[in-house]
Chain A
Amino acid sequence: MQFTDEQLKIMDSIIARYPRSRSAIMPLLHYVQAIDGYVSPRGIEIIAEKLDLATAEVTAVSTFYTQYRSEPAGEYHVGVCINTLCAVMGGDAIYEAVCEHLGIENHETTKDGKVSLERIECNAACDYAPVVMVNWEFYDNQTPQSVRDLVDAARAGNPPAPTRGPNKLRTWKENSQVLAGISDGLSNEGVSAGAATLRGLKISKGEK
C-alpha cells in the first residue's frame, strides 16, 4: 500500500521545517506512527527515500527511542509510571492491578487491539503521583481502581478526559500526529494548570 499524495505532501512540509533534511527524521517517524500505528517497513522506506538515507540508518534511529514502536500500539496506549517516586506512591500496585485486570504484560496489547500497556519512566508530573499516561496525556493522582475503570471505559470506547489535557481523549494515532508537529486545534482545551501546579502561587496570594 502506498502513502497518499496528501501524506507525502505533509512529509515534505515536515522536512521543510529544518535547515538540514536529516533533522526531520524524528517528526517523520512520529508521522508514520500516526498513519500506521507503528514504525512500519513502508514508513522506514519512505523516510529513507525522502532523506536520502539507507533504510538501516533510519532503523538505527527509530530503535534508539522508546516511543517508536516496532509493533502497533493499542488505540489507547497506557503508560504506568514505575520510576521510584510514582512506584512508591502506588505505581507498582497500579501496574500489577492493570496487568491482572487486562491479562497482559509490559509491551503487550489486548486481543481486541484497544489497550496496550507499558511501564514508563518519570513523566515530569511527580507532584501528581502516581501518574498514568494514556496516549501521552496526563491522568494524575491515580489508584488501582481508577485505572481499572479507565481501561474498562477505554475498551468500551468511552475513556474519561485527561486530568490536564483536551476535553476528549484522542486515539494513539491521532496524538502521534500532534507529536509530529501537526496541530489538531485542541490547545485551548483543558486547564491552564492543575491544582498542584498552582499550590505555591495560591499560598503566595493568601488563597491556600
Chain B
Amino acid sequence: MPVLSAHWDEKDSFTIAGYQRAGGYKALTKALAMEPDAVIQLVKDSGLRGRGGAGFPTGSKWGFIPQGDNKEHYLVVNADESEPGTCKDMPLLMANPHVLIEGMIIASYAIRANYAFVYIRGEVAHVVRRVQQAIEDAYKAGFLGKNIGGKGFDLELVLHVGAGAYICGEETALLDSLEGFRGQPRLRPPFPAIAGLYAKPTVVNNVESIASVPAIIQNGVEWFQAMGTEKSKGFTLYSLSGHVKNPGQFEAPLGITLREILELAGGVREGHQLKFWTPGGSSTPMFTAEHLDVPLDYEGVSAAGSMLGTKALQIFDETTCVVRAALRWTEFYKHESCGKCTPCREGTWWLVQMLQDLEDGKGTEEDLAKLLDLCDNIAGRSFCALADGAVAPIISSLKYFRSEYLEHQKNGGCPFDPVASTNFAVVNS
C-alpha cells in the first residue's frame, strides 16, 4: 500500500487539516520524545537511502554532523528537481507539503539545527504557494518557531525560491546559490557536513528522503525494512513518462522492475514497442528492452550498467530517433553547464556540434570515435557530476544504437518522422 502518496486523492490533502486527519504531525510528537541521537540511529537502522539520485544513507549523513561543536547547524532540503524526466518531488509537494515540513522538523531536531531551508526551483508557482502556506500554517500550529512541542526546541524554516538553474540541484552549487552567489559547485572536501551553508555543518537532503522520515518514525524500522530489497529498503516514487498508455507516479517497494510497472500502466502506447528508456533521468545511461527485468533498486541498476538516479522512467518507442534524443539532452547540459570547469563548459559545446552534424547526416564513422574520445575527456574531469551526466546519453546510445547513428549518414539526414512520435500523431494522421 502506498505511503507517500496515500492521501493525494483527497481534495484537501495539502492543507494542515487534511494532513492531520491522515495522522500528520504524530511522528513529530514521537520523535521529540526521543533523544536526538536516537532519532539519527533509528533512521540509520531503517536503511533509508537518499532519493535524490546518489542513494547515500540518510541516517549516516545526519550522523556526520559534529555535535557539541558550538556551531550553528543547518538543514537544507533540495527541492530543485530539474533532472530531465524527474517529476516526483513537485507533485508530492503540491499534494502534501506538510509531510516534508514534518520530516524537516524531525531531521533538524536530530542534527540539532535551529534553521532550515527548502530550496525549491523557481518555475513552479503553485507548488511554491502550497509550500509557503504549509510553512505559515505549521508556524501557527506551533510546529515551527520557539519551544516546539514544549520541548525547548526552536526552529525557523524558510522557503527559498530558485530562478532557473539545473546546476543548483548539485548540493554545493545549491549552497552557494542559497548564500546569494552564482550557483557554482564547490571543490570537496570539505563536505557540507563539515563546512556547508555559511561554512557551518549542514545536511542537504532530497525532498522524498525527508518526506519518508515521518512514516519511518511512526511505524518503525522493521516495518520499513519489510519493503524493498536487501540493500535498498523501503518504498519510493517511480515516475513513468513518455510513450506509455498511462504515465504517472507509481509508488512501489524498491526493486520492482520496469516490466511490472509497465503492466500496471497498461504498457507501451498502442501498436508500438519499447525502444529505449532511462532508469533515473537523462544523466543515467539508457536501457533497452533487454533490461525490462532489471530490479529497480540501487544495486540492480548499477549492476546493469546504469544508475537508479531519481527513478525517472522515460519511455521511448520505436518512432523516436535516438540521435535526436541524445542531441537534445546534450543541448540541455550545454545550456545548464555553469561554466566553472573548462572540460564541461567547452566540451558540451563541442558535443552539441558533433551530434548536430550526425543528426543532420553530415557525420562520419570516424566522428563516432571522436565523439567517444571527447566524452572521455569530459567525464570525471570537473568539480561536479554534471559533465558525467552529459556524456551518459551519448555513450549509452552509441553502445546500443551505433548503427542508427550511421544510418543518418547513409540517409543524408534523420530517417525518422518526428510527427510519428508525438502524442497527437493519431489526431494528425
Report chain B residues within 8 Å CB of A183: 129, 132-133, 136
Q: Do B249 and A199 touch across chains, with their CB atoms under 8 A apart?
A: yes
For residue A84, CB closer than 8 A to chain B, the reply is yes
For residue A10, CB closer than 8 A to chain B, the reply is no
Q: Do A136 and B125 touch across chains, with their CB atoms under 8 A apart?
A: yes
Report chain B residues within 8 Å CB of A20: 179-180, 198
Q: Do B8 and A198 touch across chains, with their CB atoms under 8 A apart?
A: yes
Known: A20-B179, A143-B424, A175-B125. A200 touches B264 (CB 8 A): yes
Report chain A residues within 8 Å CB of B246: 196, 199
A183 to B133, CA, bound (A): 8
Q: Do A197 and B163 touch across chains, with their CB atoms under 8 A apart?
A: no
For residue B206, CB closer than 8 A to chain A, the reply is no
Report chain B residues within 8 Å CB of A65: 122, 162-165, 183
What is the chain B residue whose CB lies nearest that of A203? B264
Q: Which of A1-9, A109-117, A124-132, A148-156 contacts B (4 or more CB under 8 A)?
A: A124-132
Closest approach, in angstroms, between the C-beta of B417 and any C-beta of chain A? 12
Q: Do A200 and B252 touch across chains, with their CB atoms under 8 A apart?
A: yes
The 8 A CB mask of A172-198 against B (1 = contact, 0 = none) is 000100111101101110101111111
Report chain B residues within 8 Å CB of A193: 8-9, 13, 91, 94-95
A61 to B164, CA, bound (A): 12
For residue B316, CB closer than 8 A to chain A, the reply is yes
Known: A88-B316, A193-B94, A200-B5. A124 touches B81 (CB 8 A): yes
Report chain B residues within 8 Å CB of A122: 82-86, 332
Q: Do B422 and A88 touch across chains, with their CB atoms under 8 A apart?
A: yes
Q: Do A187 and B125 touch across chains, with their CB atoms under 8 A apart?
A: no
For residue B187, CB closer than 8 A to chain A, the reply is no
For residue B329, CB closer than 8 A to chain A, the reply is yes
Contact of B180 among A26, A128, A164, A170 (CB under 8 A): A26
A67 to B153, CA, bound (A): 37
Q: Do A127 and B179 touch across chains, with their CB atoms under 8 A apart?
A: no
Contact of B126 among A84, A127, A164 (CB under 8 A): A164
Q: Do B163 and A66 touch across chains, with their CB atoms under 8 A apart?
A: yes
Closest approach, in angstroms, between the C-beta of A208 and any C-beta of chain B? 9
Chain A: residues with Cβ within 8 Å of the partner, total of: 79
Q: Do B6 and A136 touch across chains, with their CB atoms under 8 A apart?
A: no
For residue A166, CB closer than 8 A to chain B, the reply is yes
Report chain B residues within 8 Å CB of A143: 423-424, 427
What is the chain A residue whose CB lies nearest that of B5? A201
What is the chain B residue whose CB lies nearest that of A33? B163
What is the chain A residue whose CB lies nearest that of B180? A22
Q: Do B125 and A60 touch across chains, with their CB atoms under 8 A apart?
A: no
Report chain A residues within 8 Å CB of B162: 26, 65, 67
A129 to B132, CA, bound (A): 27
For residue B182, CB closer than 8 A to chain A, the reply is yes
A121 to B84, CA, bound (A): 8
Q: Do B177 and A26 touch across chains, with their CB atoms under 8 A apart?
A: yes
A136 to B165, CA, bound (A): 15
Report chain A residues within 8 Å CB of B9: 192-193, 198, 201-202
Known: A162-B126, A192-B95, A200-B2. A83 touches B328 (CB 8 A): yes
Known: A27-B161, A135-B125. A187 touches B251 (CB 8 A): no
For residue B406, CB closer than 8 A to chain A, the reply is no
For residue B280, CB closer than 8 A to chain A, the reply is no
Q: Do A27 and B240 touch across chains, with their CB atoms under 8 A apart?
A: no
Q: Do B336 and A179 touch across chains, with their CB atoms under 8 A apart?
A: no
Known: A88-B422, A121-B82. A126 touches B180 (CB 8 A): no
What is the chain A residue whose CB lies nearest that of B14? A192
Interface residues of A in 22-61 (CB under 8 A from B): 22-27, 29-30, 51, 60-61
A84 to B315, CA, bound (A): 11
Q: Do B85 and A179 touch across chains, with their CB atoms under 8 A apart?
A: no
Report chain A residues within 8 Å CB of B328: 82-84, 87
Contact of A24 among B180, B248, B252 (CB under 8 A): B180
Closest 6 CB pairs of A and B: A199-B248, A65-B163, A22-B180, A200-B250, A126-B241, A196-B248
Q: A30-B161, A84-B84, A88-B421 are in contact. List 11 more A-B contacts (CB 8 A).
A: A64-B165, A66-B163, A66-B165, A68-B163, A126-B84, A129-B241, A178-B129, A179-B128, A179-B161, A181-B160, A183-B129
A contact residues vs B (CB 8 Å cutoff): 17-20, 22-27, 29-30, 51, 60-61, 64-68, 79, 82-85, 87-90, 92-93, 120-130, 133, 135-138, 141, 143-144, 162, 164-166, 170, 175, 178-181, 183-184, 186-188, 190, 192-204
B contact residues vs A (CB 8 Å cutoff): 1-2, 5-6, 8-15, 72, 81-87, 89-91, 94-96, 115, 121-126, 128-130, 132-133, 136, 158-166, 177-183, 198, 238-243, 246-252, 264-265, 282, 312, 314, 316, 320, 324-325, 328-329, 332, 335-336, 338, 418-419, 421-424, 427
